[in-house]
Protein backbone atom coordinates (compact mmCIF):
# COMPACT_ATOMS: atom_id res chain seq x y z
CA UNK A 1 0.00 0.00 0.00
CA UNK A 2 1.34 3.43 -0.91
CA UNK A 3 2.55 5.51 1.99
CA UNK A 4 1.11 8.92 2.51
CA UNK A 5 3.15 12.14 2.89
CA UNK A 6 2.11 14.34 5.81
CA UNK A 7 3.48 17.46 7.48
CA UNK A 8 2.93 18.65 11.01
CA UNK A 9 4.69 20.68 13.68
CA UNK A 10 6.35 18.45 16.27
CA UNK A 11 7.58 20.23 19.39
CA UNK A 12 7.83 23.46 17.42
CA UNK A 13 9.68 21.94 14.46
CA UNK A 14 8.21 21.48 10.99
CA UNK A 15 8.18 17.76 10.34
CA UNK A 16 7.35 15.90 7.13
CA UNK A 17 7.17 12.13 6.89
CA UNK A 18 5.64 9.32 4.87
CA UNK A 19 3.17 7.43 7.02
CA UNK A 20 1.64 4.00 6.70
CA UNK A 21 -2.04 4.08 5.76
CA UNK A 22 -4.03 3.06 8.79
CA UNK A 23 -0.94 3.55 10.96
CA UNK A 24 -1.40 5.16 14.34
CA UNK A 25 0.37 8.35 15.38
CA UNK A 26 2.31 6.64 18.16
CA UNK A 27 3.95 4.14 15.78
CA UNK A 28 4.77 6.87 13.31
CA UNK A 29 6.27 9.15 15.98
CA UNK A 30 8.40 6.33 17.35
CA UNK A 31 9.39 4.45 14.20
CA UNK A 32 9.32 7.04 11.46
CA UNK A 33 10.13 10.30 13.23
CA UNK A 34 12.29 8.73 15.95
CA UNK A 35 10.65 10.48 18.92
CA UNK A 36 10.70 7.66 21.46
CA UNK A 37 9.24 9.73 24.30
CA UNK A 38 5.60 8.63 23.94
CA UNK A 39 5.34 5.00 25.07
CA UNK A 40 3.38 2.04 23.77
CA UNK A 41 1.59 0.53 26.74
CA UNK A 42 -1.66 -1.12 25.78
CA UNK A 43 -2.62 -0.03 22.26
CA UNK A 44 -6.20 0.37 23.55
CA UNK A 45 -6.25 3.85 25.03
CA UNK A 46 -6.54 2.45 28.52
CA UNK A 47 -3.10 3.21 30.00
CA UNK A 48 -2.34 6.73 28.78
CA UNK A 49 1.40 6.10 28.29
CA UNK A 50 1.14 7.38 24.70
CA UNK A 51 -0.53 10.70 25.61
CA UNK A 52 0.60 13.60 23.42
CA UNK A 53 -0.86 17.06 22.93
CA UNK A 54 -2.56 17.78 19.62
CA UNK A 55 -3.12 21.52 19.27
CA UNK A 56 -2.62 21.75 23.02
CA UNK A 57 -5.18 19.09 23.97
CA UNK A 58 -4.23 15.66 25.33
CA UNK A 59 -5.03 12.75 23.03
CA UNK A 60 -4.00 9.09 22.96
CA UNK A 61 -1.56 8.79 20.08
CA UNK A 62 -2.09 5.01 19.78
CA UNK A 63 -5.72 5.68 18.80
CA UNK A 64 -5.09 8.57 16.39
CA UNK A 65 -4.93 7.80 12.71
CA UNK A 66 -1.50 9.25 11.82
CA UNK A 67 -2.62 10.90 8.62
CA UNK A 68 -5.18 12.96 10.53
CA UNK A 69 -2.47 15.13 12.10
CA UNK A 70 -1.67 16.82 8.79
CA UNK A 71 -1.06 20.50 9.57
CA UNK A 72 -1.57 20.03 13.32
CA UNK A 73 0.65 20.96 16.24
CA UNK A 74 1.94 17.97 18.22
CA UNK A 75 3.78 18.20 21.52
CA UNK A 76 5.46 15.28 23.24
CA UNK A 77 7.49 14.81 26.39
CA UNK A 78 10.55 14.82 24.11
CA UNK A 79 10.05 18.54 23.55
CA UNK A 80 9.39 19.66 27.14
CA UNK A 81 12.97 20.38 28.22
CA UNK A 82 14.68 23.53 26.99
CA UNK A 83 18.18 22.48 26.06
CA UNK A 84 19.80 21.09 29.22
CA UNK A 85 17.05 22.52 31.45
CA UNK A 86 14.30 20.13 32.39
CA UNK A 87 10.75 21.46 32.34
CA UNK A 88 9.53 22.34 35.87
CA UNK A 89 7.15 19.35 35.69
CA UNK A 90 9.99 16.98 34.78
CA UNK A 91 12.14 18.46 37.55
CA UNK A 92 9.40 18.04 40.13
CA UNK A 93 8.80 14.44 39.01
CA UNK A 94 12.50 13.61 39.46
CA UNK A 95 12.86 15.38 42.80
CA UNK A 96 9.57 14.13 44.21
CA UNK A 97 10.11 10.46 43.25
CA UNK A 98 7.01 10.68 41.07
CA UNK A 99 8.65 8.17 38.72
CA UNK A 100 9.68 4.68 39.67
CA UNK A 101 9.78 2.49 36.59
CA UNK A 102 9.09 5.62 34.56
CA UNK A 103 6.93 4.03 31.91
CA UNK A 104 3.87 6.16 32.64
CA UNK A 105 5.84 9.39 33.20
CA UNK A 106 5.84 10.58 29.62
CA UNK A 107 2.06 10.42 29.35
CA UNK A 108 1.56 11.74 32.90
CA UNK A 109 3.74 14.74 32.12
CA UNK A 110 1.78 15.58 28.98
CA UNK A 111 -1.57 15.23 30.75
CA UNK A 112 -0.21 17.46 33.53
CA UNK A 113 1.14 19.99 31.04
CA UNK A 114 -2.25 20.27 29.34
CA UNK A 115 -3.78 20.98 32.75
CA UNK A 116 -1.24 23.61 33.82
CA UNK A 117 -1.46 25.36 30.45
CA UNK A 118 -5.12 25.97 31.24
CA UNK A 119 -5.13 26.25 34.98
CA UNK A 120 -2.03 27.60 36.75
CA UNK A 121 -3.19 26.65 40.25
CA UNK A 122 -5.20 23.44 40.09
CA UNK A 123 -6.58 21.75 43.21
CA UNK A 124 -5.56 18.19 44.04
CA UNK A 125 -8.97 17.02 42.77
CA UNK A 126 -8.48 18.82 39.50
CA UNK A 127 -5.06 17.19 39.14
CA UNK A 128 -6.50 13.73 39.89
CA UNK A 129 -9.14 14.33 37.24
CA UNK A 130 -6.55 15.52 34.69
CA UNK A 131 -4.41 12.38 35.11
CA UNK A 132 -7.36 10.00 35.49
CA UNK A 133 -6.73 8.48 32.06
CA UNK A 134 -3.11 7.67 32.92
CA UNK A 135 -2.29 4.50 34.82
CA UNK A 136 0.68 4.23 37.18
CA UNK A 137 1.39 0.88 38.78
CA UNK A 138 4.32 1.99 40.98
CA UNK A 139 3.68 5.17 42.89
CA UNK A 140 0.08 5.04 44.07
CA UNK A 141 -0.39 8.44 42.38
CA UNK A 142 0.16 10.60 45.48
CA UNK A 143 3.80 11.48 44.65
CA UNK A 144 2.69 12.34 41.11
CA UNK A 145 -0.02 14.67 42.37
CA UNK A 146 2.46 16.21 44.83
CA UNK A 147 4.96 16.77 42.02
CA UNK A 148 2.37 18.50 39.85
CA UNK A 149 1.41 20.77 42.79
CA UNK A 150 5.10 21.66 43.28
CA UNK A 151 5.65 22.24 39.56
CA UNK A 152 2.61 24.52 39.42
CA UNK A 153 3.99 26.54 42.35
CA UNK A 154 7.39 26.84 40.73
CA UNK A 155 5.90 27.88 37.42
CA UNK A 156 3.75 30.53 39.07
CA UNK A 157 6.79 31.87 40.89
CA UNK A 158 8.72 32.00 37.64
CA UNK A 159 6.08 34.06 35.89
CA UNK A 160 5.53 36.59 38.68
CA UNK B 1 -2.52 -6.62 6.88
CA UNK B 2 -2.55 -3.15 5.51
CA UNK B 3 -5.41 -0.78 5.79
CA UNK B 4 -6.54 1.65 3.17
CA UNK B 5 -7.93 4.99 4.31
CA UNK B 6 -10.46 6.78 2.14
CA UNK B 7 -11.51 10.36 2.77
CA UNK B 8 -14.62 12.01 1.41
CA UNK B 9 -15.81 15.61 1.41
CA UNK B 10 -19.39 14.66 2.20
CA UNK B 11 -20.91 12.05 4.47
CA UNK B 12 -23.24 11.03 1.66
CA UNK B 13 -20.27 9.95 -0.48
CA UNK B 14 -18.64 8.24 2.49
CA UNK B 15 -21.80 6.31 3.30
CA UNK B 16 -22.01 4.95 -0.24
CA UNK B 17 -18.77 2.98 0.06
CA UNK B 18 -19.55 1.46 3.47
CA UNK B 19 -20.30 -2.15 4.12
CA UNK B 20 -18.31 -5.30 3.51
CA UNK B 21 -14.74 -4.60 4.46
CA UNK B 22 -15.10 -0.83 4.86
CA UNK B 23 -15.72 0.75 8.28
CA UNK B 24 -16.52 4.36 9.01
CA UNK B 25 -14.11 5.94 11.48
CA UNK B 26 -15.18 8.82 13.72
CA UNK B 27 -13.07 9.56 16.83
CA UNK B 28 -11.44 6.17 16.43
CA UNK B 29 -11.34 5.36 20.15
CA UNK B 30 -12.96 1.97 19.56
CA UNK B 31 -12.08 1.36 15.93
CA UNK B 32 -8.34 2.07 16.26
CA UNK B 33 -8.15 -0.50 19.03
CA UNK B 34 -9.31 -3.04 16.50
CA UNK B 35 -6.80 -1.79 13.94
CA UNK B 36 -4.00 -2.01 16.50
CA UNK B 37 -4.97 -5.56 17.40
CA UNK B 38 -5.06 -6.73 13.80
CA UNK B 39 -8.82 -7.16 13.36
CA UNK B 40 -9.23 -8.92 10.01
CA UNK B 41 -12.91 -8.12 9.52
CA UNK B 42 -12.21 -4.88 7.63
CA UNK B 43 -9.41 -3.45 5.54
CA UNK B 44 -10.71 -0.02 4.68
CA UNK B 45 -11.33 2.96 6.92
CA UNK B 46 -13.69 5.58 5.58
CA UNK B 47 -13.62 9.11 6.95
CA UNK B 48 -15.23 12.39 6.05
CA UNK B 49 -14.35 16.04 6.50
CA UNK B 50 -18.00 17.08 6.11
CA UNK B 51 -18.41 20.28 8.19
CA UNK B 52 -21.91 19.10 9.15
CA UNK B 53 -20.25 16.59 11.49
CA UNK B 54 -19.15 19.40 13.79
CA UNK B 55 -22.23 21.61 13.73
CA UNK B 56 -24.24 22.48 16.82
CA UNK B 57 -27.43 24.34 15.99
CA UNK B 58 -30.55 25.13 17.91
CA UNK B 59 -34.02 25.66 16.54
CA UNK B 60 -36.35 26.60 19.36
CA UNK B 61 -35.76 24.15 22.20
CA UNK B 62 -34.50 21.49 19.79
CA UNK B 63 -30.74 21.16 19.31
CA UNK B 64 -29.06 19.49 16.37
CA UNK B 65 -25.66 18.02 17.24
CA UNK B 66 -23.30 16.84 14.50
CA UNK B 67 -22.29 13.19 14.99
CA UNK B 68 -18.61 14.19 15.03
CA UNK B 69 -18.93 16.48 18.05
CA UNK B 70 -16.66 15.21 20.84
CA UNK B 71 -17.41 14.82 24.53
CA UNK B 72 -15.10 17.77 25.30
CA UNK B 73 -16.93 19.93 22.78
CA UNK B 74 -20.24 19.06 24.42
CA UNK B 75 -18.83 20.01 27.84
CA UNK B 76 -17.74 23.39 26.51
CA UNK B 77 -20.88 24.31 24.62
CA UNK B 78 -23.23 26.69 26.49
CA UNK B 79 -26.37 25.17 24.98
CA UNK B 80 -25.36 21.60 25.77
CA UNK B 81 -24.90 22.04 29.52
CA UNK B 82 -27.68 19.51 30.18
CA UNK B 83 -25.37 16.90 28.60
CA UNK B 84 -22.20 18.22 30.23
CA UNK B 85 -22.29 15.82 33.15
CA UNK B 86 -22.87 12.88 30.81
CA UNK B 87 -19.97 13.86 28.53
CA UNK B 88 -17.71 14.29 31.56
CA UNK B 89 -18.46 10.73 32.67
CA UNK B 90 -17.01 9.23 29.48
CA UNK B 91 -13.39 8.02 29.79
CA UNK B 92 -10.59 10.34 30.88
CA UNK B 93 -9.73 13.78 29.47
CA UNK B 94 -7.83 12.43 26.44
CA UNK B 95 -10.64 10.06 25.48
CA UNK B 96 -13.12 12.91 25.79
CA UNK B 97 -11.08 14.97 23.32
CA UNK B 98 -11.48 12.16 20.79
CA UNK B 99 -14.69 10.23 21.50
CA UNK B 100 -17.66 11.43 19.43
CA UNK B 101 -21.35 11.49 20.27
CA UNK B 102 -22.08 9.56 17.06
CA UNK B 103 -19.58 6.80 17.88
CA UNK B 104 -21.12 6.41 21.33
CA UNK B 105 -24.38 5.19 19.77
CA UNK B 106 -22.50 2.21 18.34
CA UNK B 107 -20.36 1.45 21.38
CA UNK B 108 -21.01 -2.01 22.86
CA UNK B 109 -21.49 -2.36 26.61
CA UNK B 110 -19.97 -1.47 29.04
CA UNK B 111 -19.79 1.68 26.89
CA UNK B 112 -22.61 3.83 25.55
CA UNK B 113 -23.14 6.22 28.46
CA UNK B 114 -24.07 9.10 26.17
CA UNK B 115 -26.41 6.82 24.21
CA UNK B 116 -28.20 5.93 27.46
CA UNK B 117 -28.72 9.61 28.27
CA UNK B 118 -29.92 10.34 24.73
CA UNK B 119 -32.38 7.45 24.92
CA UNK B 120 -33.96 8.96 28.03
CA UNK B 121 -34.07 12.30 26.22
CA UNK B 122 -35.81 10.66 23.23
CA UNK B 123 -33.19 11.79 20.70
CA UNK B 124 -33.60 11.37 16.96
CA UNK B 125 -30.99 10.27 14.46
CA UNK B 126 -30.52 11.89 11.08
CA UNK B 127 -28.73 9.57 8.66
CA UNK B 128 -26.52 10.63 5.74
CA UNK B 129 -29.02 9.01 3.38
CA UNK B 130 -31.59 11.57 4.54
CA UNK B 131 -33.59 9.13 6.66
CA UNK B 132 -34.64 9.90 10.20
CA UNK B 133 -35.26 7.53 13.03
CA UNK B 134 -35.64 7.69 16.78
CA UNK B 135 -32.61 6.48 18.72
CA UNK B 136 -34.94 4.03 20.40
CA UNK B 137 -35.90 2.40 17.10
CA UNK B 138 -32.27 2.25 16.09
CA UNK B 139 -31.22 0.54 19.33
CA UNK B 140 -34.00 -2.04 19.06
CA UNK B 141 -32.69 -3.27 15.73
CA UNK B 142 -29.15 -4.48 16.11
CA UNK B 143 -29.02 -5.38 12.41
CA UNK B 144 -29.52 -1.76 11.33
CA UNK B 145 -28.54 -1.03 7.74
CA UNK B 146 -25.06 0.40 7.46
CA UNK B 147 -25.24 4.10 6.90
CA UNK B 148 -23.65 7.04 8.71
CA UNK B 149 -25.37 9.07 11.38
CA UNK B 150 -25.08 12.66 10.26
CA UNK B 151 -26.48 14.35 13.36
CA UNK B 152 -28.55 13.82 16.46
CA UNK B 153 -31.41 16.04 17.48
CA UNK B 154 -32.55 16.35 21.04
CA UNK B 155 -34.94 18.60 22.88
CA UNK B 156 -33.47 20.61 25.71
CA UNK B 157 -35.15 19.33 28.90
CA UNK B 158 -36.83 21.76 31.29
CA UNK B 159 -34.53 22.78 34.16
CA UNK B 160 -34.12 19.94 36.64
CA UNK B 161 -36.13 17.45 34.56
CA UNK B 162 -33.14 15.38 33.44
CA UNK B 163 -31.07 13.29 35.84
CA UNK B 164 -28.10 11.05 35.14
CA UNK B 165 -26.05 8.65 37.21
CA UNK B 166 -23.15 6.44 36.15
CA UNK B 167 -22.05 3.79 38.60
CA UNK B 168 -18.43 2.70 38.30
CA UNK B 169 -15.93 1.02 40.57
CA UNK B 170 -12.98 3.26 39.81
CA UNK B 171 -13.11 7.01 40.49
CA UNK B 172 -12.83 9.48 38.89
CA UNK B 173 -12.57 7.45 35.68
CA UNK B 174 -14.01 4.01 35.21
CA UNK B 175 -16.30 2.10 32.89
CA UNK B 176 -19.94 1.82 33.77
CA UNK B 177 -21.25 -0.98 35.91
CA UNK B 178 -24.63 0.46 35.13
CA UNK B 179 -25.89 3.83 34.04
CA UNK B 180 -29.30 5.39 34.66
CA UNK B 181 -30.85 8.39 32.95
CA UNK B 182 -34.27 9.81 33.76
CA UNK B 183 -36.37 12.47 32.08
CA UNK B 184 -39.22 13.46 34.32
CA UNK B 185 -41.67 16.27 33.88
CA UNK B 186 -43.67 17.27 36.89
CA UNK B 187 -47.22 18.47 37.10
CA UNK B 188 -48.48 19.84 40.43
CA UNK B 189 -46.00 17.89 42.53
CA UNK B 190 -46.80 14.62 40.74
CA UNK B 191 -44.92 13.03 37.90
CA UNK B 192 -46.01 13.72 34.35
CA UNK B 193 -44.28 12.34 31.31
CA UNK B 194 -41.43 9.97 32.31
CA UNK B 195 -38.63 8.20 30.44
CA UNK B 196 -36.16 5.95 32.24
CA UNK B 197 -33.17 4.44 30.42
CA UNK B 198 -30.57 2.01 31.69
CA UNK B 199 -27.11 1.37 30.29
CA UNK B 200 -25.33 -1.87 31.18
CA UNK B 201 -28.62 -3.63 31.97
CA UNK B 202 -28.97 -5.12 28.46
CA UNK B 203 -26.73 -5.48 25.41
CA UNK B 204 -27.84 -2.01 24.32
CA UNK B 205 -29.17 0.96 26.33
CA UNK B 206 -32.78 0.09 27.13
CA UNK B 207 -35.89 1.84 28.44
CA UNK B 208 -37.49 0.55 31.62
CA UNK B 209 -41.06 0.88 30.34
CA UNK B 210 -42.80 -0.91 33.19
CA UNK B 211 -41.08 1.38 35.66
CA UNK B 212 -42.04 4.43 33.61
CA UNK B 213 -45.68 3.42 33.67
CA UNK B 214 -45.60 2.75 37.39
CA UNK B 215 -44.23 6.24 37.98
CA UNK B 216 -46.87 8.02 35.92
CA UNK B 217 -48.84 10.30 38.26
CA UNK B 218 -47.08 8.99 41.36
CA UNK B 219 -45.82 11.26 44.10
CA UNK B 220 -42.07 11.54 44.28
CA UNK B 221 -41.45 10.09 47.69
CA UNK B 222 -40.35 6.81 49.21
CA UNK B 223 -43.78 5.18 49.00
CA UNK B 224 -44.81 6.83 45.72
CA UNK B 225 -41.91 5.30 43.81
CA UNK B 226 -42.14 1.78 45.27
CA UNK B 227 -43.98 0.24 42.33
CA UNK B 228 -41.65 1.90 39.88
CA UNK B 229 -38.57 0.49 41.63
CA UNK B 230 -40.06 -2.99 41.83
CA UNK B 231 -40.69 -2.96 38.08
CA UNK B 232 -37.45 -1.37 36.91
CA UNK B 233 -35.54 -4.52 35.99
CA UNK B 234 -38.44 -6.00 34.03
CA UNK B 235 -37.30 -6.89 30.52
CA UNK B 236 -33.64 -6.27 31.32
CA UNK B 237 -30.79 -8.69 30.56
CA UNK B 238 -27.79 -7.45 32.54
CA UNK B 239 -24.34 -8.81 31.78
CA UNK B 240 -22.40 -11.23 33.93
CA UNK B 241 -18.92 -9.87 33.55
CA UNK B 242 -15.75 -9.08 35.42
CA UNK B 243 -17.29 -5.87 36.78
CA UNK B 244 -20.35 -7.47 38.37
CA UNK B 245 -22.72 -10.42 38.12
CA UNK B 246 -26.11 -10.01 36.53
CA UNK B 247 -27.63 -10.82 39.94
CA UNK B 248 -25.78 -7.89 41.47
CA UNK B 249 -26.85 -5.53 38.72
CA UNK B 250 -30.48 -6.55 39.17
CA UNK B 251 -30.19 -5.95 42.91
CA UNK B 252 -28.60 -2.52 42.73
CA UNK B 253 -30.45 -1.07 39.73
CA UNK B 254 -33.51 -0.11 41.86
CA UNK B 255 -31.22 1.29 44.57
CA UNK B 256 -29.56 3.70 42.17
CA UNK B 257 -32.82 4.56 40.45
CA UNK B 258 -34.26 5.43 43.85
CA UNK B 259 -31.34 7.72 44.65
CA UNK B 260 -31.76 9.46 41.35
CA UNK B 261 -35.52 9.92 41.72
CA UNK B 262 -35.45 11.12 45.31
CA UNK B 263 -32.49 13.44 44.94
CA UNK B 264 -34.68 15.74 42.91
CA UNK B 265 -37.53 16.15 45.34
C1 LIG C 1 -9.94 3.96 27.53
C2 LIG C 1 -11.35 4.08 27.06
C3 LIG C 1 -12.34 4.47 27.94
C4 LIG C 1 -13.66 4.61 27.52
N5 LIG C 1 -14.61 4.99 28.43
C6 LIG C 1 -15.89 5.12 28.02
C7 LIG C 1 -16.91 5.51 28.95
O8 LIG C 1 -16.63 5.76 30.12
N9 LIG C 1 -18.18 5.61 28.51
C10 LIG C 1 -18.52 5.34 27.21
O11 LIG C 1 -19.70 5.46 26.85
N12 LIG C 1 -17.58 4.98 26.31
C13 LIG C 1 -16.29 4.86 26.67
N14 LIG C 1 -15.33 4.46 25.78
C15 LIG C 1 -15.75 4.05 24.44
C16 LIG C 1 -15.66 5.12 23.37
O17 LIG C 1 -14.58 5.98 23.57
C18 LIG C 1 -16.93 5.99 23.26
O19 LIG C 1 -18.06 5.17 23.26
C20 LIG C 1 -16.91 6.89 22.04
O21 LIG C 1 -18.01 7.80 22.11
C22 LIG C 1 -16.92 6.15 20.70
O23 LIG C 1 -16.85 7.13 19.68
P24 LIG C 1 -15.68 7.20 18.57
O25 LIG C 1 -15.96 8.44 17.78
O26 LIG C 1 -14.35 7.11 19.17
O27 LIG C 1 -16.00 5.88 17.75
P28 LIG C 1 -15.14 5.12 16.62
O29 LIG C 1 -14.13 4.28 17.29
O30 LIG C 1 -14.69 6.06 15.57
O31 LIG C 1 -16.29 4.20 16.03
C32 LIG C 1 -16.90 3.17 16.78
C33 LIG C 1 -17.93 2.45 15.90
O34 LIG C 1 -19.04 3.30 15.62
C35 LIG C 1 -19.20 3.48 14.22
N36 LIG C 1 -19.55 4.91 14.03
C37 LIG C 1 -18.93 5.97 14.60
N38 LIG C 1 -19.55 7.12 14.26
C39 LIG C 1 -20.58 6.76 13.44
C40 LIG C 1 -21.59 7.50 12.75
N41 LIG C 1 -21.67 8.85 12.84
N42 LIG C 1 -22.47 6.81 11.98
C43 LIG C 1 -22.40 5.46 11.87
N44 LIG C 1 -21.47 4.70 12.50
C45 LIG C 1 -20.57 5.35 13.29
C46 LIG C 1 -17.88 3.11 13.60
O47 LIG C 1 -18.03 2.63 12.29
C48 LIG C 1 -17.38 2.03 14.55
O49 LIG C 1 -17.94 0.79 14.21
C50 LIG C 1 -14.01 4.34 26.17
C51 LIG C 1 -13.00 3.97 25.28
C52 LIG C 1 -11.69 3.85 25.70
C53 LIG C 1 -10.63 3.47 24.70
Task: Mark whether B232 and B253 lie in a shared domain.
Answer: yes
Residues A58 and A13 reside in one and the same domain: yes
Of A21, A68, A111, the CB nearest to B4: A21
* pLDDT of B8: 97
Lowest-confidence pick of A19-28, A137-146, B180-189: B180-189
A68 & A99 share domain: no
Q: Which of B155, B188, B207 is the last residue of a domain?
A: B155
Domain harbouring A96, CATH code: 1.10.150.120
Q: Concatenated DSSP letters for B4-39?
A: EEEEESSHHHHHHT-BTTEEE-SS-TTHHHHHHTT-
3-state DSSP call for residue B98? helix
The reply to whether A111 and A137 lie within a common domain is yes
Taking any CB pair shorter than 8 Å as contact, residues of chain B touching chain A are: 2-5, 25, 28-29, 32-33, 35-37, 45, 47, 72, 91-95, 97-98, 172-173
- Report the distance separating Cα B165 and Cα B188, nearest Å: 25
Higher pLDDT, B265 or B248: B248
Domain assignment of residue B24, given as a range? 4-48
Chain A CB contacts of B34 below 8 Å: none
B18 and B73 share a domain? no
- Asked whether residue B19 carries a pLDDT value surpassing 90, the answer given is no
Which of A79, A111, A144 corresponds to the end of one domain? A79
B85/B57 same-domain check: yes
* pLDDT tens, position by position, A119-149: 999 999 999 999 999 999 999 999 999 999 9
Query: pLDDT at position A70, please?
Result: 97
pLDDT per residue as tens digits for the range B121-141: 999 999 999 999 999 999 998
- Could you report the per-residue pLDDT of B210-224, keeping only the tens digit for each? 999 999 999 999 999
Q: Are residues A67 and A132 in the same domain?
A: no
- SS3 assignment for chain A: CCCEEEEEEECCEEEEEEECCCCEHHHHHHHHHCCCCCCCCCCCCCCCCCEEEECCEEEEHHHCEHHHHCCCEEECHHHCCECCECCHHHHHHHHCCCCCCCCCHHHHHHHHHHHHHHCCCCCHHHHHHHCCCCCCCCCCCHHHHHHHHHHHHHHHHHHC
For residues B69-77, average pLDDT: 98
pLDDT interval class at B192 (50, 70, 90): confident
Query: Which among A79, A102, A127 is the end of a domain?
Result: A79
Least Cα separation, residue B129 to chain A (angstroms): 25
How does residue B1 score in pLDDT terms, banded at 50, 70 and 90? low
CATH at residue B114? 3.30.465.10
Residues A46, A105 within the same domain:
no
A-B interface: how many C-beta pairs under 8 angstroms?
A: 83
Domain encompassing residue A51: 3-79
Q: What is the pLDDT of residue B173?
A: 85
Residues B205 and B144 in one domain: no
The answer to whether residues B95 and B82 belong to one domain is yes
If you average pLDDT over residues A29-34, what whole number do you get?
Answer: 97
- Residues A73 and A99 both lie in one domain: no
Q: How far is B164 from chain A (nearest CA, A)?
A: 19
Q: Does A62 touch chain B (CB under 8 A)?
A: yes
Q: Does A134 touch chain B (CB under 8 A)?
A: yes
Regarding whether A99 and A71 lie in a shared domain, the answer is no
Residues B171 and B136 placed together within one structural domain of the fold: no
Burial letters B21-34, b for 16+ CB under 10 A, else e: ebbbbbbbbbbbbe
Domain total for chain B? Answer: 3
A58 and A29 within one domain:
yes
pLDDT score at B146:
78
Q: Judge if A107 and A64 occupy the same domain.
A: no
Closest ligand 1 atom to Cα of B106: 34
Report the pocket of ligand 1 as residue ranges, CB < 6 Å: A 44-46; B 23-31, 67, 90-91, 95, 98-100, 102-104, 106-107, 111-114, 148-149, 175
Q: Which whole number is the average pLDDT over B44-51?
A: 96
**At which of A79, A98, A129 does a domain end?**
A79
Residue B102: φ, ψ to 5°: -65, -45
pLDDT at B187: 75
> How do beta strands B44-48 and B22-24 pair?
parallel
B74-83: buried (b, 16+ CB within 10 Å) or exposed (e) per residue? bbebeebebb
- The arithmetic mean of pLDDT across residues A11-37, rounded, is 97
Tally of domains in chain A: 2
Q: Are residues A20 and A59 in the same domain?
A: yes
Q: What is the pLDDT of residue B143?
A: 58
One domain, residues B133 and B192: no
Do residue B170 and residue B130 come from a single domain? Answer: no
Check whether B155 has a pLDDT greater than 60.
Answer: yes
Residue B142's pLDDT is 64
- The residue out of B155, B173, B196 marking a domain boundary is B155
- Statement to judge: residues B37 and B123 lie in one domain: no
Q: What is the pLDDT of residue A42?
A: 97
* Same domain? B59 vs B151: yes
Q: Please tell me whether residues B74 and B35 are part of one structural domain.
A: no
- What percentage of chain B reaches a pLDDT higher than 70? 97
Q: What is the pLDDT of residues B228-249, one digit of tens each?
A: 999 999 999 999 999 999 999 9
Q: Which of B155, B187, B209 is the last residue of a domain?
A: B155
Cα separations in angstroms, A94 against A68, A89, A142: 34, 9, 14
Return the percentage of chain A with pLDDT > 90, whole number.
97
Atom 44 in ligand 1: residue holding the nearest Cα: B148
Chain A environment of B87 (Cβ under 8 Å) = none
| Per-residue pLDDT, B239 | 92
Say if residue A16 is in the same domain as residue A42.
yes
- Phi/psi zone of residue B34: left (φ > 0), alpha (ψ -120 to 50 degrees), beta? alpha
Res. B264 pLDDT band, cuts 50 70 90: low
Residues B150 and B58 in one domain: yes
**pLDDT surpassing 50 at residue B265:** no
Amino acid sequence: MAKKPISFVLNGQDTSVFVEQGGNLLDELRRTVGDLSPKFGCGQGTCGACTVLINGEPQLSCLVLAERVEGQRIDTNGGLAEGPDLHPLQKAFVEGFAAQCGFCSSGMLMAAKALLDRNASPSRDEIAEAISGNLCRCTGYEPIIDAIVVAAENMRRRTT
Amino acid sequence: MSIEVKSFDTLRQASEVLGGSAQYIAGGTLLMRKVNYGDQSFNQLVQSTDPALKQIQSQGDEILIGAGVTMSEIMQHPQLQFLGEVARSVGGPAIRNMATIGGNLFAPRPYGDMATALLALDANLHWASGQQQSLEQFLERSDAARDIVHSISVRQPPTGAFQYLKVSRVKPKGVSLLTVAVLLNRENGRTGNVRIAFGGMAPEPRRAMAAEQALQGASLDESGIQRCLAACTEGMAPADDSLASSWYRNEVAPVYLKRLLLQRS
